[in-house]
């Protein structure tokens, strides 16, 4: 996506051909800072501390993490240690395991002396594929938005509600939930996005709002609790969210609070779509609620908020009494029954076994 007049991806290989550059998402929206990753530890740190986040980008960063780890050691045992270190960084987004396993199985089929170059080629392939896949998600999602727009009486915009950040910053480019929004904007369809702020880390306020503003797309930031009210008053035409892991039975794990939006959408007959690449489908898990590991993050993310003061400095302030403790589950699971449809790179399907297997028949064996 363009920022000003320059085109950026969220991760890229540096000119030295070895290090990798990312946009430090912990600094947005107040500072646009590019950070260089030169080692496996740098990549692991970037994922763990959420300088990069969002399921597809976590996967892409892990792929480059393998490259960085292999730079000075490339045996099968090294590869296994690198893979384990990366996979342990964040538990919920399945793209992390998907990318590391894809890298490992490809590299194990190659002799040790050729592994480093092969790793960089495979990581670049993963990134390029991610861009193509997300653009295709955008094209399929655009048709849903177009249909809603055609049924509107006047030139009124289509109102989309989204949660967290599933825009281009969460992927290599385009995003998942926001790809249809970008496509609709490109196609000249008037569009307005309700942006959930997404406490505790405020990915909606700091990242989604920043992305949409940079592309000139009309949007309003809302507190996480406003969505149900807006839906009750006919102010949301559809919800589109991303996902960190979707089971082959259609249960959707996404940023905490997604489930409540899906419940409100169901109660108000608002279509609730989930946009995802094939790499986010977990073909090993049947029951999302019971089996998807939910990341529990630091209580400080709930007890403190970070922002820019009127004098321009970035500061954290505590919002609860000193003696109050906090719980911080980072994700929740929306059961398939609350999901209107899944927007994938291969088309839109119902959330469930039949729908997913109609688009990914090659995964059908044994299911
Ligand atoms: O904790 P985060 O910021 O990595 O969580 C991100 C989300 O929950 C996104 O909605 C999800 O990864 C989909 S991103 C295309």
Please report, for the domain that includes residue 95, its CATH number. 1.20.120.420
Joined together, the tokens standing for residue 261 give: 């939006």
| Pocket lining: 243 vs ligand 1, CB cutoff 6 Å | yes
Which H/E stretch holds residue 268? none
Q: State mean pLDDT over 28-46.
A: 97
The residue from 105, 129, 153 where one domain ends is: 129
155 shares a domain with 104: no
- Are 345 and 224 in the same domain? yes
Indicate if 162 and 52 belong to the same structural domain.
no
Q: Mark whether 183 and 218 lie in a shared domain.
A: yes
Indicate if ligand 1 lies below 6 Å from the C-beta of 127.
no
**Residue 16 known to be catalytic:** no
Q: By C-alpha distance, which of 222, 224, 227, 225 is closest to 237?
A: 227
Are 304 and 177 contained in the same domain? yes
φ, ψ (nearest 5 deg) of residue 276: -155, 145
Contact 187, 146 (CB under 8 A): yes
Cα of 170 to ligand 1 centre, how many Å? Answer: 6
pLDDT in tens, 329-365: 999 999 999 999 999 999 999 999 999 999 999 998 6
Are 244 and 261 contained in the same domain?
Answer: yes
CA distance 292 to 294: 6
Instruction: List the one residue out of 86, 103, 3 whose CA is nearest residue 52.
Output: 86
Task: State the Cα–Cα distance between residues 4 and 184, nearest whole angstrom.
Answer: 20
Question: Could you tell which of 1, 162, 165, 211 is best to mutate to test the pocket of ligand 1, judged by most ligand atoms within 8 Å of the CB?
Answer: 165
Please tell me whether residues 348 and 233 are part of one structural domain. yes
Residues 31, 113, single domain; the answer is: yes
The residue that leads in pLDDT, 365 or 29, is 29
**Domain-terminating residue out of 85, 104, 129:** 129
Last residue of a domain, one of 74, 94, 129: 129
CA dihedral 110, 115, 118, 119 (to 10 degrees): 120
Same domain? For 198 and 51 the reply is: no
Per-residue pLDDT tens for 311-336? Answer: 999 999 999 999 999 999 999 999 99
Q: Are residues 63 and 145 in the same domain?
A: no
**Separation CA 270–CA 43 (nearest Å):** 40
The answer to whether the CB of 230 is under 6 A from ligand 1 is no
pLDDT in tens, 180-213: 999 999 999 999 999 999 999 999 999 999 999 9
Which atom of ligand 1 is nearest the CA belonging to 242?
13
Q: Which two tokens stand for residue 259?
A: 């489930």
Instruction: List the domain range (segments joined by +) for residue 179.
Output: 137-363
CATH number at residue 246: 3.40.50.10470
Q: Is 176 in the pocket of ligand 1 (CB under 6 A)?
A: yes
Q: How many domains does the chain divide into?
A: 2
Closest atom of ligand 1 to 295 CA is 1
30 and 142 co-located in one domain:
no
- Ligand 1 neighbourhood includes 265 CB (under 6 angstroms): no
Look at 274 and 153; give whichever has higher pLDDT: 274
Same-domain check for residues 115 and 187:
no
**pLDDT (0 to 100) of residue 365:** 63
Among residues 244, 251, 282, 332, which one is catalytic?
244
Residue 211 alpha carbon to ligand 1 centre in Å: 15
């Amino acid at each position: 996506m363009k920022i000003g007049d320059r085109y950026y991806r969220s991760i890229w290989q540096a000119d030295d051909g070895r290090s990798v550059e990312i946009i430090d998402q912990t600094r947005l929206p107040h500072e646009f800072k590019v950070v260089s990753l030169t080692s496996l530890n740098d990549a692991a740190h970037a994922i763990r501390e959420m300088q990069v986040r969002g399921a597809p980008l976590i996967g892409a960063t892990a792929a480059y993490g393998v490259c960085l780890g292999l730079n000075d050691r490339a045996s099968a045992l090294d590869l296994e240690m690198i893979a384990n270190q990366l996979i342990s960084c964040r538990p919920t987004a399945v793209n992390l395991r998907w990318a590391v396993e894809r890298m490992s199985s490809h590299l194990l089929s190659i002799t040790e002396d050729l592994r480093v170059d092969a790793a960089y080629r495979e990581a670049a392939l993963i990134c390029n594929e991610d861009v193509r896949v997300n653009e295709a998600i955008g094209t399929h999602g655009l048709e849903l938005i177009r249909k809603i727009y055609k049924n509107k009486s006047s030139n009124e915009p289509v109102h989309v509600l989204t949660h967290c950040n599933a825009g281009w910053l969460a992927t290599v480019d385009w995003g998942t939930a926001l790809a249809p929004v970008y496509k609709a904007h490109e196609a000249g369809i008037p569009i307005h996005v309700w942006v959930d702020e997404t406490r505790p880390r405020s990915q909606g306020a700091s990242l989604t709002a920043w992305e949409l503003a940079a592309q000139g797309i009309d949007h309003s930031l809302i507190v996480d609790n406003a969505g149900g009210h807006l839906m009750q008053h006919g102010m949301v035409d559809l919800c589109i969210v991303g996902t960190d892991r979707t089971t082959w039975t259609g249960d959707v794990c996404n940023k905490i609070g997604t489930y409540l939006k899906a419940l409100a959408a169901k109660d108000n007959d608002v279509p609730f779509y989930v946009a995802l690449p094939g790499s986010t489908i977990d073909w090993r898990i049947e029951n999302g609620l019971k089996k998807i590991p939910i990341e529990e993050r630091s209580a400080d993310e709930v007890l403190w908020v970070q922002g820019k003061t009127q004098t321009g400095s970035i500061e954290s302030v505590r919002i609860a009494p000193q003696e109050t403790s906090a719980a911080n589950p980072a994700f929740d699971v929306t059961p398939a029954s609350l999901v209107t449809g899944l927007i994938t790179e291969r088309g839109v399907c119902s959330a469930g076994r039949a729908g997913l297997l109609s688009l990914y028949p090659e995964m059908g064996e044994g299911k």
